[in-house]
Structure 1
Amino acid sequence: MTLAAAPLDLTDPAVIADPYPAFAAARARGAVQWHEGLGMWLAFGHPEVNAVLRDRRLGRIWSDKAPAERFESFNLIHRNAILEMEPPTHTRLRRLISAAFARGHVERLRPWVQELADSLVDELVERSAGQTPVDVLSGMSEELPVAVIAELLGVPAADRPLLRPWSNAIVKMYEYGRTTQIEDAAERAADEFVAYLRELAAERRQAPGEDLLTHLVTVRDAEGDRLTEDELVTTCILLLNAGHEATVNVSGNGLLALLEHPAELARLRADPGLMPTAIEELMRFDSPLQLFERTATEDVEVGGATVARGQKIAALLGSANRDPAVFADADTLDVGRADNPHISFGAGVHFCIGAPLARVELQASFGALLGRTSALELGAPARRRPEFVMRGLYDLPVVLTR
Structure 2
Amino acid sequence: MDAAFDPWSPEFVADPYPAYAELRATGRAHWFAPTRQWLIPHHADVSALLRDRRLGRTYTHRFTHEEFGRAAPDPAYEPFHTLNDQGLLDLEGADHTRVRRLVSKAFTPARVERLAPAVRRLAAGLVGELVARGGGDLLALVAEPLPVAVIAEMLGIPEEDEERARLRPWSAAICGMFELNPSEEAARRAVRASVEFSDYLRELIARRRREPGGDLISALVGVEELTEQEMISTCVLLLNAGHEATVNTAVNGWWTLLRHGVRPDPAPEKLSTAVEELLRYDTPLQMFERWVLDDIEVGGVTLPRGTEVALLLGSANRDPARFGPTAGDLDLTRSDNPHLTFGAGVHYCLGAPLARLELHALFGEVLRQAPGLRLAAEPVWRPGYVIRGFEQLLVEV
Task: Please tell me the TM-score bracket, short chain as reference.
Answer: over 0.9
Instruction: Give the secondary-structure state (helix, strand or coil) at the position aligned to 2:322.
Output: coil
Q: In the alignment, which residue of structure 2 is the partner of 1:351?
A: 348
Q: In the alignment, which residue of structure 1 is the partner of 2:159?
A: 157
Instruction: Give the secondary-structure state (helix, strand or coil) at the position aligned to 1:294.
Output: strand
Worse-superposed segment, 54-63 or 76-85:
54-63
Separation of aligned partners in 1, 2:293 and 2:19: 30
Residue-by-residue CA offset, 1:122-171 (whole Å, 9 max, x unaligned) = 1100101xxxx411111100010000011001012243211000010111
Q: In the alignment, which residue of structure 2 is the partner of 1:320?
A: 316
Q: In the alignment, which residue of structure 1 is the partner of 2:302?
A: 306
- 2:117 pairs with 111, 121, 126, which one? 111
Instruction: Mark the CA change 1:251 to 1:36 in structure 2 (over 3 Å): closer, same or farther.
Output: same
Residue-by-residue CA offset, 1:243-302 (whole Å, 9 max, x unaligned) = 11111111111111011111x31x535x55410011100010100001111111111112
Instruction: Mark the CA change 1:6 to 1:190 in structure 2 (over 3 Å): closer, same or farther.
Output: same
Instruction: Mark the CA change 1:182 to 1:62 in structure 2 (over 3 Å): closer, same or farther.
Output: farther
The Cα shift of 1:68 comes to 4.1
Worse-superposed segment, 36-45 or 56-65:
56-65
- Letter of the aligned partner of 1:389 in structure 2? V
What is the identity percentage for the equivalent residue pairs of Structure 1 and Structure 2? 50
Q: In the alignment, which residue of structure 2 is the partner of 1:24?
A: 21
1:282 and 2:281 correspond: no
The Cα shift of 1:5 comes to 5.8
- 1:139 pairs with 138, 141, 161, which one? 141
Q: In the alignment, which residue of structure 2 is the partner of 1:123?
A: 129
Q: In the alignment, which residue of structure 1 is the partner of 2:387?
A: 390
Instruction: Kindly indicate whether the alpha-carbon contact (under 8 Å) linking 1:62 and 1:79 is maintained by their aligned counterparts in 2.
Output: no
Separation of aligned partners in 1, 2:274 and 2:38: 32
| Matched residue count | 385
1:293 and 2:289 correspond: yes
- Letter of the aligned partner of 2:148 in structure 1? V
Instruction: Kindly indicate whether the alpha-carbon contact (under 8 Å) linking 1:113 and 1:148 is maintained by their aligned counterparts in 2.
Output: yes
Instruction: Kindly indicate whether the alpha-carbon contact (under 8 Å) linking 1:141 and 1:251 is maintained by their aligned counterparts in 2.
Output: yes
Residue-by-residue CA offset, 1:304-356 (whole Å, 9 max, x unaligned) = 32111111111000000010111131111111110101000000000000000
Q: In the alignment, which residue of structure 1 is the partner of 2:370?
A: 373
1:55 and 2:52 correspond: yes
- Letter of the aligned partner of 1:184 in structure 2? R
- 1:148 pairs with 122, 147, 150, which one? 150
Instruction: Give the secondary-structure state (helix, strand or coil) at the position aligned to 1:252.
Output: helix
Instruction: Mark the CA change 1:103 to 1:21 in structure 2 (over 3 Å): closer, same or farther.
Output: closer
Once the two structures are superposed, the pairs formed by residues 60-209 of structure 1 within 5 Å of their partners are: 60-61=57-58, 68-102=74-108, 104-128=110-134, 133-158=135-160, 159-209=163-213
- Letter of the aligned partner of 2:8 in structure 1? T
Separation of aligned partners in 2, 1:6 and 1:371: 44
Separation of aligned partners in 2, 1:41 and 1:87: 23
Instruction: Give the secondary-structure state (helix, strand or coil) at the position aligned to 2:377.
Output: coil
Separation of aligned partners in 2, 1:103 and 1:9: 40
Instruction: Give the secondary-structure state (helix, strand or coil) at the position aligned to 1:195.
Output: helix
1:254 and 2:253 correspond: yes
Q: In the alignment, which residue of structure 1 is the partner of 2:68?
A: none
Instruction: Kindly indicate whether the alpha-carbon contact (under 8 Å) linking 1:6 and 1:34 is maintained by their aligned counterparts in 2.
Output: no
Instruction: Give the secondary-structure state (helix, strand or coil) at the position aligned to 1:292.
Output: strand
The Cα shift of 1:6 comes to 6.2
Return 5+ residue gaps in structure 1 as ranges: 221-225
Separation of aligned partners in 2, 1:303 and 1:371: 48
Instruction: Give the secondary-structure state (helix, strand or coil) at the position aligned to 2:8.
Output: coil
The Cα shift of 1:82 comes to 1.3
Instruction: Give the secondary-structure state (helix, strand or coil) at the position aligned to 2:373.
Output: strand
- Letter of the aligned partner of 2:54 in structure 1? R
Q: In the alignment, which residue of structure 1 is the partner of 2:215?
A: 211
Residue-by-residue CA offset, 1:102-134 (whole Å, 9 max, x unaligned) = 272101110110111111111100101xxxx41
Separation of aligned partners in 1, 2:21 and 2:193: 37
Separation of aligned partners in 1, 2:226 and 2:92: 16
